[in-house]
């Protein structure tokens, strides 16, 4: 069913949960795995504050490179083949969509980051933006604690 899976990965707890969920799915289908980390562009307010500190961009790339390697190691420990890619100064949803097309993905997996309605309005939603851009399936993984709460709530309704 799923032969090529792209994981959007930023090292957050939500993305670590989605990686574990995706590894189980990829193992089941013996899928090729591609891990993507994105250094997003700075918001206009940050740019208006003046020049970036020297070495800031290299530091961000190094930090995300280490996060990417940690994620790749987790996939490989599960016995799956994986490649990694780092995109710089791109909007995450655009980078994920383009990367999914480049790799021929038939599934993209992202983690759900719980935020307020105002925050989603102000900053946007990667998952929502991907819905209209991707030509493949999208799995939005719920963080472990949120999934357990939802499951407990559903059990209470069925009792």
Instruction: Give the domains, in start order, of the chain with CATH numbers.
Output: 4-158 (3.40.50.620)
Query: In this predicted structure, which of 56-60, 67-71, 77-81, 122-126 has the lowest mean pLDDT?
Result: 122-126
Percent of the chain with pLDDT over 70: 77
Residue 114 tokens read as 């719980």
pLDDT bin (cut points 50, 70, 90) of residue 135 is very high
Q: Is the pLDDT of residue 155 over 90?
A: no
3-state secondary structure 82-145: EEEEEEECCCHHHHHHHHHHHHCCCEEEEECCCCCHHHHHHHCCHHHHHHHHCCCEEEEECCHH
Q: What is the pLDDT of residues 85-108, one digit of tens each?
A: 999 878 888 999 999 999 999 999
Q: pTM for the complete prediction?
A: 0.79
* DSSP 8-class letter at 18: H
| More reliable by pLDDT, 140 or 155 | 140
């Amino acid at each position: 069913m799923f032969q090529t899976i792209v994981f959007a990965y930023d090292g957050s707890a939500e993305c670590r949960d989605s990686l574990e969920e995706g590894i189980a799915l990829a193992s089941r289908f013996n899928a090729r795995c591609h891990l993507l980390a994105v250094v997003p562009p700075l918001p206009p307010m940050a740019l208006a504050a003046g020049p970036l500190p020297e070495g800031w961009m290299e530091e961000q790339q190094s930090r995300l490179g280490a996060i990417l390697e940690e994620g790749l190691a987790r996939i490989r420990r599960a016995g799956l083949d994986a490649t990694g890619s780092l995109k710089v100064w791109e909007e995450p949803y655009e980078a994920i969509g383009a990367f999914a097309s480049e790799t021929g993905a038939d599934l993209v997996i992202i983690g759900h980051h719980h935020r307020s309605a105002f925050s989603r309005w102000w900053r946007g939603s990667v998952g929502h933006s991907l819905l209209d851009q991707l030509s493949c399936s999208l799995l939005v993984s719920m963080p472990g604690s949120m999934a357990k709460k939802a499951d407990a709530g559903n059990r209470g309704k069925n009792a």
